[in-house]
Structure formats: C-alpha cells, structure tokens
Amino acid sequence: MKYIQAEYSGPLNGTVHIPGAKNSSLALLAAACLADNIVTLEGIPLIDDVRIIAEIGRDIGLKLQQDGGQVIIDPRWIHSSVIDPGKASSYRASYYFAGSLLSKFGKVTIGLPGGDDFVSRPIDQHIKVFKALGAQVHLFKDYYVVEAAELKGADIFFDTITSGATINAMLAAVRAKGRTNLHNAAMDPEVCDTANFLNRLGARIYGAGTEHIRIEGVSYLDGGTHTVIPDRLIAGAFLMAAGLHGGQVTVMDVIPEHLGSCLAKLQEIGMYVECGDNHITAYGTNSLKATRIRTGMYPSFATDLQQPMTALLLQAKGKSIVTDRIYPKRLAHVAQLRRLGAEIELRQESAFITGGRPLQGGWVHASDVRAGTCLLMAGLAAEGYTYITGVEHIERGYEDVIGSFRSIGAKLSMHELSAQEHLDQIRESQ
C-alpha cells in the first residue's frame, strides 16, 4: 500500500501549471461517443478516472488513443452499450455514458455510480431527465437500464441544481427530436465546456452558463478538436497553499473568472491576489483572519474547495465556520485533522474551527480526492512528519500530486507500506 510522507515545509513559493479539469474531461470523453467522426481532445489529465474510461471504451468498441494530454477518439466502431458494472461503479461520472449512448443504441446498461463516498450520490434527477425525454428506467441492485425507442424533446425542471444531471440532459437531448428546455440548470464552467464542445461538433445548444438551456435536436454530429478548460479546483487548492505560512504561489493556464468566489474568500481572510489573463498569484500573510464559509453551486464557493480551505483556516487565529449543505457528509477529513491536533467541532453539516493551534504530524487517511489535498496541506504545516494513506483517492484527481507540490517547495515523498506495517498502522489507529 502506498502512502505519502509530508514534512513541515515553511512558506511555499513557486509556479504551478494547472492541468485540464477532471470533471470536465470525464463529461467530454463520454460526450465524444455522440459524434459520427473522429474527435480530438486536448489537455485531458493523466488520472485514474480517465484510465477507467479508456478501459470502458475498449470494452464497447470505442477506439481511444492517448498521447500525453491529447486523446484521439473514434466512436464509429462502438458496437455495445452495455457498460461493465464494476468499472462503471468505480467512478461517479460513469452516468454520462447513459446520456451519450442512449440516442444511438436505444438501450444502455450501466452500473450505479461510484467514486468519492459521500454516503449518497443520488441519480434521481438523471432518471427524471431520461423519463421526460421518453425513456424507461429500470433499477436493479448494482446497475440500471435505460431504454427508449425514440427520444423526444421536453421541458425539464430540475428540482435541485445539479451539474451532473444538467450535462447528462444535454447529452441525451442533443440528438433527440425537437426542442428541449432545461430550467434551473447548473451554471458550472464544466457545463459550458461540454456545451461548447458539442456545438463545435454541430449541436445546437443555447444558454449554457445560465439557468435556462435550450437544445435543438440534431440528427448528426461531426468530428472536431476541443481543448478542455483548466481545473479550477486544483488551482484553488494551490492558491490556498500560499497562505499556509506566508508564501507566494502562481497558478498558470487558468481562467480567473472561474475562481471568483474562491479569490474573494482568500482576500477576505487577509491574503493578496493578483490576476492576469491566464494566471493568478496569491500572496500569504502571517495574520490570517477567521471567516465563515457556506458552500453552494457555482458561482458560489465550491464544495470541492471547502476541504483544502479547512486546512488553511487552521492557520487563521479565531473561530471559523465551514458549512457544506451540498454534501454534508463531505466532512470526513475533520476526524483526520483532529489526529494532527486540530481543534474542530462538528455540528450537523458545519465544522467549527479554532485556528492558530499548532499541528503535530501523524498517520491520517484520505477518503476522497479533496480530503487528500486538505491532509497534504495540513501535513506541510504540521511539525514533524505526516503520513497519508488512501493515495488511490488522491490519484483519481491529480496527474502528479507529488511533483506539483514539490514545484512550490513542498517536502513530499511517496512510499510503500508493507502488509505488516499496514496492519500495525490500522491497530494503532483503532
């Protein structure tokens, strides 16, 4: 079993080039199945979720060739719409294959979504979309089947704002007959990126980035080339890292407008931020202020950023409150931070943080991608050594987490834990 060793690193300084967005890439790779010709995607990160998609693609006949960040996809050879339930359940965004394959095959069988465990990743809004467009959905223990003789445009009102279901609705509706109107749609940059990609292939999607999206169905989508947007969530975490001990970090190849709420919070707690056309520099100070954060759907403060922000607020003297009502169970990192000496109290969906207390290294476990980022940051600020297990979760979202953090002066290294050492570590934690 792998683990990451983090050591107190002092101020972090340097430049990080931000890769393509994981959440956007997963949607784009599935969306490419809708095309009737070869598609080239640029900037796709080399992460575990993408590797799983490549395996799924090979199973169904999708020809996919990856060279660095460039992925060439030929969907003309897809011969099956049955997705291996085990592979589909290993990552959350597998549900995009239902939307992208339904119009071509009329029936899709796919495992229930997995990925980060936040207790429940409901797909009720996805099911609502499929049914509204004329499909039948059959749920089984480990998989579900979506089938439709024909998809027809419809008016769809989402009960809650959901990026995943908004994207899936676009995928399913883009080749449906007639017009589809999405109301209360998500406005995330990843939604816009998917719409821009599909429009490049010949789709007719209007209003992406607003609460109302209109899709005029088309019968054919050509091939084309598209570059994925940069990962705003990785960029936000590195900017926060600058605040751990008064460092200076520049993130390159970003779209500053995508990080508006994050940058506002960093300035609110006492950091300085400078934005260019495609870069942002954050300057830390030694007098961070406590604050309150409530996560929300874009453009509000992202749920994916509350975990690394918690690590930063441990350095801010006073009492901070972080509330996450999108995924209230996305607070598993709190128990791990306590093992390093953090003073945090959980009350329902809120974490009450007493900052300015010294942290001491120890063993912790990352239960998801962003929790891993949080624990890495806490380990870099703690005295002594911090050992982080659950590396497989971190690698789902980072192409080279060690190299990226080292580029700004972080003292990190990857190690292997023997089976006996693993058992000893488990006993010690109980």
Residues of the binding site for UDP-N-acetyl-alpha-D-glucosamine: 92, 121-125, 304, 326
Beta strand spans in 221-378 (E): 224-227, 248-252, 272-275, 279-283, 292-294, 318-323, 343-347, 350-355, 363-365
Question: CA-CA distances (angstroms) from residue 190 to 151, 236, 257, 401, 402?
Answer: 24, 16, 13, 22, 26
C-alpha distance from residue 199 to each of 190, 205, 226 (Å): 14, 6, 11
Residues forming the annotated binding site for phosphoenolpyruvate?
22-23
Three-class DSSP labels, 134-200: CCEEEECCCEEEEECCCCECCEEECCCCCHHHHHHHHHHHCCCECEEEEECCCCCHHHHHHHHHHHH
Q: Is 84 assigned a catalytic role? A: no
Q: How many helices (H) and strands (E) does the chain have?
A: 15, 23
- CA end-to-end distance (rounded Å), the chain: 19
Catalytic residue among 48, 116, 193, 324: 116
Rounded (10°) angle between helices 163-173 and 96-105: 10
**292-294 and 318-323 as β-strands: parallel, antiparallel, unpaired?**
parallel
Binding residues: 22-23, 92, 121-125, 304, 326
H helices of 242-300, in order, are 260-268
Cβ-contact 136, 146 below 8 angstroms: yes
Could you give the CA distance from residue 95 to residue 373 in angstroms, rounded to a whole number? 25
In this structure, are residues 71 and 111 in contact, taking their beta carbons and an 8 Å threshold? no
Annotated catalytic residues are 116
